[in-house]
Amino acid sequence: MKYSQFNAVIPYDEKFALYNSYNQKVIFIEEGLKDILNAAIFEGIDNLQEIHPTFYAYLIAEKYVIEEDIREVELVKEITKQVDENHTDFFLTINPSMNCNFKCWYCYETHVKKSKLDEPMIQKINTFIDTTIAKPEIRAFSLSFFGGEPLLYFKKDVTPIIKAYADACKTKGITPSIGFTTNGYLINDEFINFFKDNDLTCSLQITLDGYKEEHDLVRFVNANKGSYEQIMKNIRLLINNKFYVRLRINYTDKNLHDSYKIADDLADITQELKDNYLLIDYHRVWQNDKVDNLKVVLDRNANIMRDQGLEVLTNFSPNNVLSSCYADKRNSAVINYNGDLFKCTARDFTNVKRAGYLSEEGELIWENDYLNKRMNAKFKNKPCLTCKIMPICNGGCSQHAMEHLEGDDYCVYHGDENEKDKVIATKVEELMNAAVAV
């Protein structure tokens, strides 16, 4: 037998949590038992059978200790293939424009003034949607809008695509799934009424840069007018009309500390609507990413918000294998306003970085075997192959893997075991909360 590579032991509430990232299980042990376990790991896990046969049998039953010939990394590879090579779902993202009404300091995109979809491109996109949804194997098709700011030309350029998409879904008998990633400033009654009048719904990811003062320093209309108040007004409008909102808080070490106050501006929303139509999702701005103790502040803010009846996620809770990024999946594409193809929305959309193009016939043309290269990019990073949190992290995503294909080792947690333990602590907390809820 052998001790699972995916086990980890961390201090937890005056005991120790033994957590397995593959099986998503945790048990709590006293310090003496932890010391016995560590000695057995060092000397050979089978020695535990003589020292503590009951504990040894339990570890085997719960798969913390497994057969020697089990190749754990191969098991993760199999799951990844099943998830990422699924041919029944398709994920399409469209950038209607690369222009934006704000200029956030951390934005990685090149804003292109006057960029927008033209009528021929809209028709090509609609042709692609029609032919893809009509394929016999397709059982679900998600349509998302990104940018730039996707609501700049909503009525003229976006609504024709949504209507054609909804018709194709109706013909196939599948449920439409529509989403927007937006700064939320341009949401209005016209937007809401379009979906109501067409008997459709959509979800939105709306971003904030901390609480009002910090947010308005980053995202402002002019020198005398910020955007926080209008965005929060629009968020309340959406939720009260039963539009699902993922409120993404882009945080740094400068704007995190009083971000819990955002909850006060959501206090007039009923608990039922909060439960069904709102999620707070903290993400650290990648240019500010570093090893520090900011997680303490993050947890404090998240817990204050949870005490006010909000569901809150933090980016210390990855699930990159079972719930991999849309860009990791073979059946996904990002179509830029000019027909250029990409896989990931978290990178710049310049023409030189495109992965292909949308043909005149409405077909996805991936250049230089890009799609296959991307699908085979994972599991080439040596640190990942021996990591204890590989089944939940897996080196981030295929975008990270593509950017390190030349063989340079990397770790999305900077190779810091303490940072990985923060992830494990978050997972343990989630398991405990789920057990209490049951």
For residue 290, the model assigns a pLDDT of: 72
For residue 103, the model assigns a pLDDT of: 73
For residue 151, the model assigns a pLDDT of: 96
Contact present, 97 and 337 (Cβ < 8 Å): yes
pLDDT of 106 above 70:
no
Q: pLDDT class for 45, splitting at 50, 70, 90?
A: very high
| Paired tokens of 66 | 């497994």
pLDDT of 220 above 90:
no
For residue 100, the model assigns a pLDDT of: 79
Q: pLDDT class for 235, splitting at 50, 70, 90?
A: very high
pLDDT of 437 above 70:
no
By percentage, how much of the chain surpasses pLDDT 70? 97
Residues across the chain: 438
DSSP state, residue 92: E
- The pLDDT of 274-282, averaged and rounded, is 97
Q: What is the pTM of this model?
A: 0.91
The structural domains of the chain, ordered by start, are 1-70 (no CATH), 86-368 (3.20.20.70)
- The pLDDT of 314-322, averaged and rounded, is 88
Kindly report the average pLDDT of the chain as a whole number. Answer: 94
Report pLDDT digits (tens) over 154-204.
999 999 999 999 999 999 999 999 999 999 999 999 999 999 999 999 999
| CB neighbour class for 335 (10 Å; exposed up to 12, middle 13-18, buried from 19) | buried
SS3 state of residue 158: helix
- Tell me the angle at which helices 31-43 and 53-61 cross, rounded to the nearest 10 degrees: 80
CA nearest 87: which of 129, 43, 141?
Answer: 141
Report pLDDT digits (tens) over 359-398.
999 999 999 999 999 999 999 999 999 999 999 999 999 9
For residue 70, the model assigns a pLDDT of: 98
For residue 219, the model assigns a pLDDT of: 86
pLDDT of 105 above 60:
no
For residue 438, the model assigns a pLDDT of: 57
